[in-house]
Amino acid sequence: MLEHGGRRRVAARRYAIPEADWLDLSTGISPHAYPVPTIAAEDWLRLPEDDDGLLDAAAAYYGTARLVALAGSQPAIQGLPFLLPRGRVGVLAPTYAEHPHHWQRAGHDVIRFAAAALPAVADTVDTLVICQPNNPDAGCIAPAVLIDVAERLQARGGHLVVDEAFIDATPDASVITLAGARLPNLVVLRSLGKFFGLAGARVGFVAARPDLLAALREAAGPWPLCGPARTVARRALADTAWQDVMRPTLAEASARLARLLAPLDPEDTRRVHPLFVWLPTPAAESIAAALARQGILVRHFATPDCQGLRFGLPGTENDWQRLEAAIRALSSPATRKDSGGTA
């Protein structure tokens, strides 16, 4: 099983710091979660039913009724490689590691490509998989480019899979309304985990053409979402007032985070997403370790095509002050000398 962010207990054991004392910035999940309403006793007592209004709320929010609800986007990430024709699959890199992992497990020939190579790669593969915005480097491809790529693939019987798990803060970049309609070969994945801060509820949606939706729903089995999760998701999707406040709130927070990280980025290469800041650096591992020794957990990436740090948003003013003090300590001449200039 692949490793992901949020492994605070592992870090607590490794650095001998109690779990409760950690500031976890490793996941890219909003620290300002949707306020969970009181759950009625009936939601715990009864089996969930599909006609409870969840899909109606999702259709209004996403702008399309061509949807299936799943336990997060993970079932689709694992299931789609077995539902689409086996062939050559191009995966935008760097990316969420679950994508190439499951296409390879299903027997596809997987290649990785950089964003600049997208137009050329589109003409050489059967399926393209793209995170939009990208995780972890916050790259974003213009919707017009994605549409052009999807149309070219469609002409050859190919598919475009777009994972929009991080797009809710910038919905104008989404192509979900085209999935299964104007573009029958387009499949779009969405999740309530990031923007809504509801990762623990495990609620996601897929937009696609009817036969793929039916296959995903059948594979999920009965009751893929529990009753309480359906209730929370339905209310969160319908609460446009909360959404309208949260988008500028997150944008302001990520801009503040980018400013705070400036001492670690003399080349000014960091990328800002409303939910996280990406800092490319060959010193990712040493910086992450130095922060961990102060009880601050960030996500470091150290692969040939991806060396850097992803910083999630602090949730409280005390958290902000704590991170600022840690960055200041890392940036001090004494710290740089002790770390050989890498931290």
> Do the domains 8-33+241-332 and 41-238 sit in the same CATH topology, yes or no?
no
pLDDT of residue 3: 64
The span from the CA of 319 to the CA of 340, in Å, is 28
- Residue 340 in this model has a pLDDT that exceeds 70: no
Q: At what angle do helices 54-62 and 227-238 cross, to 10 degrees?
A: 30
pLDDT tens, position by position, 265-279: 999 999 999 999 999
- Residue 31 in this model has a pLDDT that exceeds 80: yes
Mean pLDDT of the chain: 93
How confident is residue 339, by pLDDT bands cut at 50, 70 and 90? Answer: very low
Mean pLDDT of 192-197: 98
> 8-33+241-332: CATH homologous superfamily?
Aspartate Aminotransferase, domain 1 (3.90.1150.10)
Comparing C-alpha atoms, which of 191, 195, 188 is closest to residue 225? 191
Apex 330 CA angle, 278 and 317, nearest 5:
70
pLDDT of residue 1: 64
Domain coordinates in residue numbering, the chain: 8-33+241-332, 41-238
- Residue 69 in this model has a pLDDT that exceeds 70: yes
pLDDT of residue 331: 80
pLDDT tens, position by position, 90-124: 999 999 889 999 999 999 999 999 999 999 999 99
147 and 178 in contact (C-beta within 8 Å)?
Answer: yes
90 and 121 in contact (C-beta within 8 Å)?
Answer: yes
Comparing C-alpha atoms, which of 286, 290, 289 is closest to residue 329? 290
Phi and psi based region of residue 259 (left: phi greater than 0; alpha: psi -120 to 50; beta: remaining): alpha
127 and 161 in contact (C-beta within 8 Å)?
Answer: yes
In sequence order, the β-bridge partners of residue 278 are 271, 310
Helix (H, G, I), strand (E, B) or coil at 26: coil
pLDDT tens, position by position, 216-261: 999 999 999 999 999 999 999 999 999 999 999 999 999 999 999 9
The CATH class given to the 41-238 domain equals alpha beta
Residue keyed to tokens 């919905």: 171
How confident is residue 78, by pLDDT bands cut at 50, 70 and 90? Answer: very high
